[in-house]
Structure 1
């Protein structure tokens, strides 16, 4: 199987990583959610008791619903971008399902926004790549929007032409002039290559990683699992750059440069009172990214986002929890400073309400591409 070429994958073979060749999966990579996140929730509760406010992180990005913990609108964050930040965000428009002809309404929205196909369609409220669809023709767009329930706000965003994707975690305390990047993660799409003899299912079963998690790929492939790919023909198994949906994550910390930090900080300081979260972007090349160039932002996530380098198969469980605890400790500290400055927190019951609402919405979305 081939992966998208990134510096992260090449660095796995050089320097200090030579002794830590990536295993197909880490020990905990696909543990059940309750198993991996229970210690994180307990740590959150301890921090809430210490600060006497369980919802304190929601004040870290106070202009965003729940600080971006859950239930927030993607476009509500992007819409806050000033002139500087907006230049780095891939153009997008919105449409809500439930009209007499959702397909026609979606096409009209694209036309009003000056966007042409292909575009990426996704729910405006969501996470983990749920419901993300790639559409390239008008017929595909009509079919895609019909899959969402009525009254679902959707985002239609221009398909960024760059091949590579990354998650950049940004932190800036309110009393600091400059922010920092605490994590950089490369997202690689698993790709199988035909040999002219094997079926798609056989190729998946032959790969050291995909054979361990075939359930992530088989549902979206449908009848293609029986197809025999011609020799040399590649097949990308997933489009959404999300770990839980099958993408492969690599730690790109070595590529965090002063130039990249400066550029990301310039962009994020153009979003009012944004202090903590992850920027998902696509980029032209590692060399350009290191210079703070050649990238476009897909979306910006708030306090509910993770430093996704923890899903690199070389990351140990201890390192993963250390990263999680460090980041949540930071968001409590930032929230405390914003609360002292007069901003209000959401409250524990409001947090729970939007978390339950988001869970219901995620369950109603179609399978992602």
Structure 2
């Protein structure tokens, strides 16, 4: 199978033109998520357990809702799943952490450049590229002491994707409910405009300059040469400025079969999102040539809702359906004998994660 679809900045060109920013994409979180919280409370009352979704992935802390270790999820992978995961190493910042990091990299077969990221966190906060030992030293020092971090292979593939997977405990096979392609927004120099001027001239970035300026502040007065491309973000998160495209039409039986084989090799995992990079979109559709960055649990979203073409009604319908599934799966796992984490444990995990994230450096 060959990929005959042309792309523009990673977006399939065959798709109809979309607005640059959706009406709700950058609403304050408390506004967008309030109806979802109310729906969660309603389901908690119905099932008599507000923390029941944490039982959907019972071997993960809080089911992956918050506060979980990213590496602990990857560590559960069996031989089949592990071959699809980008190699990684874990350490805790502190005394001699650069030397320990280099030793951990060697043991894991990692070489520069690598991705440095917190082991507990979300939304790409603190994710940075380390290109040599000096940048690694500076990167580790930017975190607080005693913070668990991961070093991971920088996957060279050009297409970052989010694959949402759901499998009920009484089902032999799961399904992919969402496939999202993530586009890195770029500015292109014209030889006379500053980065700040380019930012305010671009159809998308001029609408949300506050998303990009903090990372670009040291370069705002630079004048990029004509034709030079300036990527605005590395972490593939919409709240950090990445552009998301709903590509559910590319969910194929081959991709579904591959994802099923991987996720069935992670014990008692039933609900979450795989973040990965693919060599090409054609290869992804065939279920080959991709590497997993991380696997997220019940706190993850079907990220196609952030496609600018998605309506608010469609976004909420997706959120309600997915969170409803966490309760339904959690109820089935409860009948198997698993227990939910409890509301207080959820709160403690969320507070711990929030405290940690407040200390993380700005992401690339």
Q: Which runs of 4+ in 1 moved over 4 A?
A: none
1:4 equivalent in structure 2:
9
Map residues 54-73 of structure 1 onto 2, 5 A cutoff.
Answer: 54-73=50-69
2:121 equivalent in structure 1:
126
1:3 Cα deviation from its structure 2 partner: 5.7
CA distance in 1, matches of 2:307, 2:11: 14
Map residues 298-337 of structure 1 onto 2, 5 A cutoff.
Answer: 298-337=293-332
Match of 2:107 among 101, 105, 112: 112
1:75 and 2:80 correspond:
no
CA distance in 2, matches of 1:346, 1:213: 38
2:231 equivalent in structure 1:
236
1:223 Cα deviation from its structure 2 partner: 2.3
Contact persistence 1:6–1:164 (CA under 8 A): no
Q: Give the TM-score normalised by the residue count of structure 1.
A: 0.96
CA distance in 2, matches of 1:222, 1:288: 38
> Once superposed, what is the RMSD of the aligned Cα atoms?
1.0
CA distance in 1, matches of 2:108, 2:271: 30
1:18 equivalent in structure 2:
none
1:86 equivalent in structure 2:
82
Map residues 88-237 of structure 1 onto 2, 5 A cutoff.
Answer: 88-99=84-95, 101-237=96-232
Deviations 1:112-143 (A, max 9, x none): 22210110000000000010011111111111
Q: Secondary structure at the match of 2:350?
A: helix
Contact persistence 1:162–1:282 (CA under 8 A): yes
Contact persistence 1:3–1:188 (CA under 8 A): no
Match of 1:245 among 240, 258, 279: 240
How many residue pairs align between the two structures? 358
Deviations 1:275-296 (A, max 9, x none): 0000000011111010001100
1:274 equivalent in structure 2:
269
Deviations 1:13-47 (A, max 9, x none): 3xxxxxxx311111111000000000000000000
1:49 and 2:52 correspond:
no
CA distance in 1, matches of 2:144, 2:50: 33
1:339 equivalent in structure 2:
334
Contact persistence 1:3–1:190 (CA under 8 A): no
1:258 equivalent in structure 2:
253
1:95 Cα deviation from its structure 2 partner: 1.1
CA distance in 1, matches of 2:253, 2:8: 28
CA distance in 1, matches of 2:232, 2:44: 41
1:297 and 2:303 correspond:
no
Gaps of 5+ in 1: 14-20
CA distance in 1, matches of 2:223, 2:198: 9
Deviations 1:178-211 (A, max 9, x none): 0000001111100111111111111111111101
Q: Secondary structure at the match of 2:99?
A: helix
Q: Secondary structure at the match of 2:191?
A: coil
CA distance in 2, matches of 1:180, 1:51: 24
Contact persistence 1:278–1:302 (CA under 8 A): yes
Q: Secondary structure at the match of 2:137?
A: helix
CA distance in 2, matches of 1:222, 1:203: 13
CA distance in 2, matches of 1:115, 1:183: 31
1:17 equivalent in structure 2:
none
Q: Secondary structure at the match of 1:11?
A: coil
